[in-house]
Amino acid sequence: MKILSAQQMKEVDAFTIQNEPVAAIDLMERAAMACVKRIVKLCDHEEKLLIVCGKGNNGGDGLAIARLLLDLGYDCMALLINYSNQQSEDAHTNYLRLKEKYPAKLKEISSMDDLMELKTHNGLLIDALLGTGINKPVEGFLGEVISFVNEHFNRIISIDVPSGLFTDKSSSENKFVVKANLTLSFQMPKLAFMFAENKNSSAEFELLDIGLLTAAIEKQATRNYYITKADVAGLLQPRNKFSHKGIYGHALLMAGSKGKSGAAIISAKAAMRSGTGLLTTQSTKETLNALLLHLPEAMGLPDEHPDFISGVEKPERFDAIAFGPGTGTEAETQQTLKKILHYYTGKLVIDADGLNILSENKTWLEFLPPSTILTPHPKEFERLCGRHDDDFERLETLRQFSVKRNCIVILKGAHSAIAMPDGNVFFNSSGNAGLAKAGSGDALTGIILGLLSRGYNAPQAAIIGTFVHGYAADLCARKKSKESILISDVIECLPKAFKQLEKLKFDFSDK
């Protein structure tokens, strides 16, 4: 799914209006109805609803939502914030419709004194104040309104985008932004929703299909995409009835060191659960003894050194290699990674201490095999590429790094950003805060290794692996608290995650 700029979304709206064809006011009605269908599922019929409306088209959406909710018998009041003498044409039409049909349910607010009368309202507030049209930080009366909303309301739904939030550039300096609990966004997500810097305003969002023409969306060029369940299901390859383990590759996992056996065990389990035919884990004898108890299906290759990985022999015999989980950064371990970079030409994923080694030896980045997958968390990425003032700036550095190094970088986070060598970036849609636990990254490395060995190319493995990792955590969270989820629980949900995705593509059984 494409992520488009605010200007591009305007162009898509205009194309739809002209070519469907549909009147602009009717498209607004369609969007309002989509919001209403979702809102009524989120609140009780007796709950008091307050809709704060601006003077532009976002405010027009809000006025239409108020009328439609009142038609359904909801206790709803629309507040028109008079911060300007001008009102968009469609917003004015909906203003007149609401005023004619429900005059007592429309209140015009021209000062903070008018607004203060409503501070005892304890129901749901719907923010339809500004939308995507702003190009400078909110200030003055509008800023006071947003401050009032944030201070006096605990349940806030924003329409399309939280008011005061820039969609295509950083809002880190914006003083006034609505702190929405949920944003109902039209058709496609906004780039701003992908970033942790906006966690207080747009952490949760849902996409509403309002029937914008597919042809209009296809015409728009972008380098940012949002990964959906259907996208990932479409990439899956079936296992052939007549296949054998050799067909699905032989993977080498180089992980673990003294006191860090767990990282190797987690990665190995995840790799075996993700399709590889054969798995060899090179690590310390201590780690391999523990691995045998947890995963007898994996083979072990004991390193000569008792405490860490100190070398590698014939890496070319493996279809894919993962290096880094729990390996440490001893000098011999660093030289082992250097040897792989110089002599291995197969599929490679580098994580954790492997990334720390690269950060200490940045000239080695020149030797990354094409389409190597790097999986840094934000701090590891900072060590590789330096600090950034905001998430938008970091995104561009991420994009440039992947292009320059001809590699794939998965910058882990709530919406992990997968940067490809062609400059495109794919944001993940799965996962939850239960993954904020030790071992989560080790599991992702194992999943990607299994997919690479199994036969997926590097871009496919990065996208599928990142999504499945999060999707398994989502399935896990349906039965367990996010507070209590262990990465071992997530790995146990990998079979179900793959099964659900396979159903979308391969299930031809009787219904």
Assess whether pLDDT exceeds 70 at residue 374.
Answer: yes
Report yes or no: 66 and 100 within 8 Å, Cβ to Cβ: no
Assess whether pLDDT exceeds 50 at residue 510.
Answer: no
Q: Give the pLDDT mean for 277-305.
A: 97
Report yes or no: 376 and 352 within 8 Å, Cβ to Cβ: no
* Euclidean distance between CA atoms 401 and 124, whole angstroms: 44
Number of other residues whose CB lies within 10 A of the CB of residue 330: 17
Closest to 450 (Cα-Cα) out of 333, 318, 260, 294: 318
In tens, the pLDDT along 70-84 reads 999 999 999 999 999
Q: Give the pLDDT mean for 419-447.
A: 98
In tens, the pLDDT along 309-344 reads 999 999 999 999 999 999 999 999 999 999 999 999
Assess whether pLDDT exceeds 90 at residue 422.
Answer: yes
Report yes or no: 228 and 470 within 8 Å, Cβ to Cβ: no
Helix then strand then coil, % of the chain, to nearest 5? 45, 15, 40
* Euclidean distance between CA atoms 67 and 60, whole angstroms: 11
Exposure of 455 in the CB half-sphere (CA atoms within 13 A): 13
Q: Kindly tell me the number of DSSP H helices and DSSP E strands found in the chain.
A: 19, 17
In tens, the pLDDT along 180-210 reads 999 999 999 999 999 999 999 998 999 999 9
- Residue 121's pLDDT is 74
Label each residue of 447-505 as H, E or C: HHHHHHHHCCCHHHHHHHHHHHHHHHHHHHHCCCCCCCCCHHHHHHCHHHHHHHHHHHH
Assess whether pLDDT exceeds 50 at residue 511.
Answer: no
Runs of H (alpha helix) within 23-175: 24-39, 57-71, 89-101, 112-116, 140-152
Assess whether pLDDT exceeds 80 at residue 64.
Answer: yes
In tens, the pLDDT along 6-15 reads 999 999 999 9
Report yes or no: 441 and 399 within 8 Å, Cβ to Cβ: no
Residue 179's alpha-carbon distances to 77, 167, 253, in angstroms, are: 20, 15, 44
Q: What is the DSSP string of 334-348?
A: HHHHHHHHHH--SEE
Assess whether pLDDT exceeds 60 at residue 231.
Answer: yes
- 112 conformational bin, left if phi > 0, alpha if psi -120 to 50, beta if neither: alpha
Contacts of 343 (CB under 8 A, 6+ apart): 315, 316
Dihedrals phi, psi of 313, to nearest 5 degrees: -115, 130
Dihedrals phi, psi of 180, to nearest 5 degrees: -75, 140
* Unique residue bearing structure tokens 């990674």: 337
Assess whether pLDDT exceeds 50 at residue 68.
Answer: yes
Q: What's the distance, CA 415 to chain centroid?
A: 2
Looking at residue 333, its amino acid is T
Contacts of 259 (CB under 8 A, 6+ apart): none
In tens, the pLDDT along 338-366 reads 999 999 999 999 999 999 999 999 999 99
Looking at residue 159, its amino acid is I
- Residue 507's pLDDT is 67
Assess whether pLDDT exceeds 80 at residue 381.
Answer: yes
* Euclidean distance between CA atoms 470 and 426, whole angstroms: 14
- Residue 509's pLDDT is 52
* Euclidean distance between CA atoms 123 and 273, whole angstroms: 46
In tens, the pLDDT along 20-49 reads 999 999 999 999 999 999 999 999 888 999
* Euclidean distance between CA atoms 138 and 97, whole angstroms: 29
User: What's the pTM?
Assistant: 0.96
Closest to 493 (Cα-Cα) out of 409, 435, 414, 411: 435
Assess whether pLDDT exceeds 70 at residue 508.
Answer: no
Q: Structural domains in the chain? A: 6-222 (3.40.50.10260), 240-505 (3.40.1190.20)
**Strand, helix or coil for residue 219:** helix
User: 463: pLDDT confidence band, cut at 50, 70 and 90?
Assistant: very high
**Mean pLDDT computed over every residue of the chain:** 96
Report yes or no: 267 and 449 within 8 Å, Cβ to Cβ: yes
Burial class, 10, CB count within 10 angstroms (exposed 0-12 / middle 13-18 / buried 19+): middle
